Amino acid sequence: MSTILIAEDEERIALFVDKGLRAAGFTTIVASTGPDALAAAQGGGFDLVLLDIGLPGMDGFEVLRRLRATDAGVPVIMLTARSGLDDTVAGLEGGANDYIPKPFRFDELLARVRLRLREAGQQAATTLNRDGLELDLRTRRATVGDRVVDLSAREFALAEEFLRHADQVLSREQLLSRVWGFDFDPGSNVVDVYVRYLRTKLGADRIETVRGMGYRLR
């Protein structure tokens, strides 16, 4: 049975989420301030954290930053009433695994929770390797040959997705769902931009464009 930390200061929302998750078979703990949420999360024992951005005492961005400094592994889903793309990107670049804007439907939240827990359960291996490219999932370090490569959180997540599905063609829609975890404007070129970043850092020929379909790690 998975244990989930709900970091939410709005009592109505916290009770709604807590009740729904318990009914779905999860064990839950609720924290209503940023410092309380950070202390609980750093204490360990949680399989996933639902983290509101607008927490009193310390906002969700700072909680996430401090948590990631000590625990790179626990999945974090950000909850927020803010709808700006800058806030979304800031949370994801800071190490969040997913992002759900308020108001949200509980069935959507539950689906996201189950997806992130399933993905975390599949990450038993501590390293991924492919033709000289290695990702250390514990330290979040990437190396190409004997060279350490500095990757942002999103770049690392995208590289990890390619390594986990080497030789498979991944569509832009699949990558948006698995790496960014929420819907961008269909006209967004964010996947193409990040693939270009990875090619620059990992090698221009490592990621192949499959015309009309998506991308594939060679």
* Per-domain residue ranges of the chain: 3-121, 127-217
CATH topology of domain 3-121: Rossmann fold (3.40.50)
Out of 2.30.30.790, 3.40.50.2300, 1.10.10.10, 2.60.120.620, select the CATH number for domain 127-217.
1.10.10.10
Q: pLDDT digit string (tens) for 77-114? A: 999 876 555 556 666 667 788 888 888 889 889 988 98
Q: pLDDT digit string (tens) for 162-218? A: 998 888 898 888 888 777 765 555 567 889 999 999 999 999 999 999 998 999 998
Tell me the backbone φ, ψ of residue 52, rounded to 5 degrees.
-75, 140
CA distance 81 to 102: 5
CA distance 166 to 186: 25
CB 168 within 8 A of CB 216: yes
Closest CA to 134 of 155, 163, 157, 170: 163
pLDDT (0 to 100) of residue 86: 57
Is it the case that residue 64 has pLDDT exceeding 70? yes
Residue 191, token pair as written in the block: 């996947």
Query: DSSP secondary-structure letter at 179?
Result: I
CA distance 60 to 126: 27
Pairing of strands 98-101, 147-149: unpaired
